[in-house]
């Protein structure tokens, strides 16, 4: 559902809301340098950055600049706002024309699009594996988004770690607490969901019909993907995907998962009390907190695990973004800047959490006092520290170069299966669709 987050209302900073456009595009335009020099690699003490969303990504860069300037007072950033819709075609054009001198030093990349760009346009990126950036302090599953053939190309930024957010007042009417939904299997979740539905008339979850985000979060939680290690599609004969689809369909059939037709309807089910919870990336917390009348009636826990898959976990992700160092960069300066800030500063993450709701992927951030502060909206639960701990358990997931093609094909297959098509036949068709796109 990440692609639908553009333009969502951001909750007030005082409530530490998670901004909804963390990994999506801003409505703002490209504010390129009026001098016409949009490239990086300028040398000296200045780095050029391309990013979208002034209130989130650009704000974070501005705060990172301040942190780095404490030891490097002559350092500056030339931050240029480039929407995601503009950034992707711009990178494609520069790769095809080989005008690498037009690249900035650093640019932001959506996690689910990172491998596609790094594989298709390797000349745009710098391999940062051995540049002294502490990538081992980020969740393995997040680092994997920007890793190709064992080489690292990105520094993770905002968290797409998945949460199971629950209305404690609604599940309480059925005699349950959030602890009852912690470390459970999907079968247990469904059984409790049926009792909640019977007691309150309220489904547990909701989502957009034909959108496979819930299923793909299940799939990643089981340590599986739509692609194998070589990037070949594994939509057919994928036991974890089959199990995820079966769980999803069971929830829909039993009425505990409400399918809607749009993002706005999905958000409406959450903020208007139409469901007892939601499972999505932690950025959904921002939308949840816009329902001020529900303050104190929400809690967060981990995801149910798929018992049909050996080694399945309670952790997954949906969304997020990472910083890339371009092939045109002042590599030494860019690497030191990112290592010192996004991969090395608790002070930095403590600043951007309350001001922009930017939840870190950097694991040490979770030990700070700011991350461990109770959040009144969530009943005093220190949800941000909890999310950091969840992120550490997210399995690696090979998105492949054709993630979005596979995502769309699986979405079509789900619709076909709901319409009566044999599941194997629908997934075979999805596999063939992706293979055709790859050819």
228 with 285, same domain: the answer is yes
Q: Is the confidence at residue 1, as pLDDT, over 80?
A: no
9 within a domain of the structure (yes/no): no
319 and 22 in contact (C-beta within 8 Å)?
A: yes
43 with 82, same domain: the answer is yes
Residue 143 is part of a domain; what is its CATH number? 3.40.190.10
Interval 40-59 mean pLDDT: 86
207 with 265, same domain: the answer is yes
- Give the three-class secondary structure for 260: strand
- Which value, to the nearest 10 degrees, does the dihedral of the CA atoms of residues 324, 328, 332, 333 take? -80
Number of domains into which the chain is organized? 2
285 with 349, same domain: the answer is no
104 with 183, same domain: the answer is no
pTM for this model (two decimals)? 0.81
Query: 43 pLDDT band (50/70/90 cuts)?
Result: low
35 within a domain of the structure (yes/no): yes
Q: What is the pLDDT of residues 245-274, one digit of tens each?
A: 999 999 999 999 999 999 999 999 999 999
Strand partners, 298: 167
279 with 329, same domain: the answer is no
Q: Which of 369, 390, 411 is the last residue of a domain?
A: 390
Interval 25-49 mean pLDDT: 55
* Domain region containing 288: 162-316+402-438
| CA-wise closest residue to 162 among 206, 109, 218 | 218
150 within a domain of the structure (yes/no): yes
Instruction: Determine the Cα–Cα distance for residues 286 and 436; give it in Å rounded to an integer.
Output: 38
Instruction: Determine the Cα–Cα distance for residues 220 and 200; give it in Å rounded to an integer.
Output: 31
Residue 408's contacts (CB-CB under 8 Å, 6 or more residues apart) are none
Q: What is the pLDDT of residues 68-126, one digit of tens each?
A: 999 999 999 999 999 988 999 999 999 999 999 999 999 999 998 999 999 999 999 99
413 within a domain of the structure (yes/no): yes
| CA-wise closest residue to 46 among 76, 81, 79, 80 | 76
Q: Is the confidence at residue 27, as pLDDT, over 50?
A: no
Instruction: Determine the Cα–Cα distance for residues 142 and 303; give it in Å rounded to an integer.
Output: 17
329 within a domain of the structure (yes/no): yes
Compute φ and ψ for 336, nearest 5 degrees.
-65, -40
Q: What is the pLDDT of residues 385-398, one digit of tens each?
A: 999 999 999 998 88
Q: Which of 351, 368, 390 is the last residue of a domain?
A: 390
Which DSSP string corresponds to 348-386?
A: HHHHHHHHH---BS-GGGGGSTTTTS-BGGGTTB-HHHH
110 and 84 in contact (C-beta within 8 Å)?
A: yes
> Residue 98 has which token pair?
């080989």
Instruction: Determine the Cα–Cα distance for residues 369 and 278; give it in Å rounded to an integer.
Output: 27
219 with 137, same domain: the answer is no
Of all residues in the chain, the percent with pLDDT exceeding 70 is: 90
Helix (H) or strand (E) holding 124: none
54 with 132, same domain: the answer is yes
pLDDT for position 259 = 97
Instruction: Determine the Cα–Cα distance for residues 168 and 390; give it in Å rounded to an integer.
Output: 20
* Locus of tokens 């932690």: 282
Distances (CA, A) of 76 to 46, 133, 232, 337: 5, 20, 43, 11
6 within a domain of the structure (yes/no): no
Give the chain's radius of gyration (CA, Å): 21
Q: How many CA atoms lie within 13 A of 198 on its CB side?
A: 9
pLDDT for position 355 = 76
288 with 170, same domain: the answer is yes
- Which value, to the nearest 10 degrees, does the dihedral of the CA atoms of residues 91, 95, 98, 104 take? 30
Q: Is the confidence at residue 16, as pLDDT, over 80?
A: no
- Give the three-class secondary structure for 162: strand
83 with 174, same domain: the answer is no
> Residue 291 has which token pair?
């329902």
Chain centre to alpha carbon of residue 98: 30
Compute φ and ψ for 282, nearest 5 degrees.
-60, -20
Residue 284's contacts (CB-CB under 8 Å, 6 or more residues apart) are 18, 20, 163, 165, 270, 278
Question: Mutual orientation of helices 403-418 and 111-120 as an angle, nearest 10°?
Answer: 130
pLDDT for position 40 = 64
> Residue 146 has which token pair?
């920007």
428 within a domain of the structure (yes/no): yes
Dihedral sign, Cα of residue 185, residue 187, residue 188, residue 189: positive
365 with 434, same domain: the answer is no
325 and 8 in contact (C-beta within 8 Å)?
A: no
Q: In terms of C-beta distances under 8 Å and separation of at least 24 residues, what long-range contacts does 267-270 make, across chains too?
A: 267/8, 269/206, 270/206
Instruction: Determine the Cα–Cα distance for residues 276 and 376; give it in Å rounded to an integer.
Output: 19
395 within a domain of the structure (yes/no): no
107 with 77, same domain: the answer is yes
């Amino acid at each position: 559902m990440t692609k639908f987050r553009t333009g969502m209302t951001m909750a007030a900073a005082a409530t530490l809301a998670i901004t909804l456009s963390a990994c999506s595009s801003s409505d703002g335009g490209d504010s390129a340098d009026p001098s016409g020099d949009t490239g990086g690699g300028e040398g000296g003490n200045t780095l050029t950055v391309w990013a979208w969303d002034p209130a989130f990504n650009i704000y974070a860069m501005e705060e990172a600049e301040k942190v780095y300037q404490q030891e490097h007072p002559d350092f500056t950033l030339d931050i240029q706002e480039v929407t995601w819709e503009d950034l992707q075609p711009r990178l494609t054009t520069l790769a095809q024309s080989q005008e690498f001198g037009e690249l900035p030093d650093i640019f932001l990349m959506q996690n689910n699009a990172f491998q596609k760009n790094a594989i298709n346009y390797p000349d745009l990126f710098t391999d940062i594996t051995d540049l002294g950036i502490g990538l081992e302090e980020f969740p393995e599953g997040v680092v994997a988004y920007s890793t190709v053939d064992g080489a690292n190309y990105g520094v993770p930024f905002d968290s797409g770690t998945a949460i199971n957010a629950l209305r404690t007042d609604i599940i309480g009417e059925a005699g349950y607490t959030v602890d009852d939904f912690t470390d459970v299997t999907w079968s247990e979740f469904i059984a409790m969901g049926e009792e909640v539905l019977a007691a309150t008339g309220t489904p547990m979850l909701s989502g957009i019909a034909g959108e496979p985000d819930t299923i793909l979060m299940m799939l990643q939680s089981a340590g599986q993907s739509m692609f194998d290690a070589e990037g070949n599609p594994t939509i057919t004969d994928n036991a974890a995907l089959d199990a995820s689809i079966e769980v999803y369909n069971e929830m829909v059939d039993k009425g505990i998962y409400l399918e809607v037709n749009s993002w706005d309807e999905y958000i409406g089910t959450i903020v208007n009390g139409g469901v007892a919870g939601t499972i999505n990336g932690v950025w959904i917390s921002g939308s949840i907190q816009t329902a001020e009348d529900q303050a104190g009636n929400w809690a967060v826990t981990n995801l149910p695990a798929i018992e049909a898959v050996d080694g399945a976990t309670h952790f997954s992700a949906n969304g997020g973004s990472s910083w890339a160092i371009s092939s045109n960069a002042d590599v030494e300066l860019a690497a030191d800047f990112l290592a010192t800030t996004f991969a090395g500063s608790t002070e930095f993450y403590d600043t951007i959490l309350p001001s922009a709701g930017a939840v870190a992927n950097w694991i040490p951030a979770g030990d700070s006092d700011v991350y461990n502060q109770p959040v009144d909206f969530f009943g005093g639960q220190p949800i941000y520290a909890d999310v950091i701990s969840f992120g550490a358990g997210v399995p690696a997931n090979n998105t492949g170069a054709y993630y979005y093609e596979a995502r769309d094909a699986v979405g079509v297959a789900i619709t076909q299966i709901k319409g009566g098509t044999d599941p194997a036949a629908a997934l075979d068709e999805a596999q063939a669709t992706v293979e055709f796109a790859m050819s």
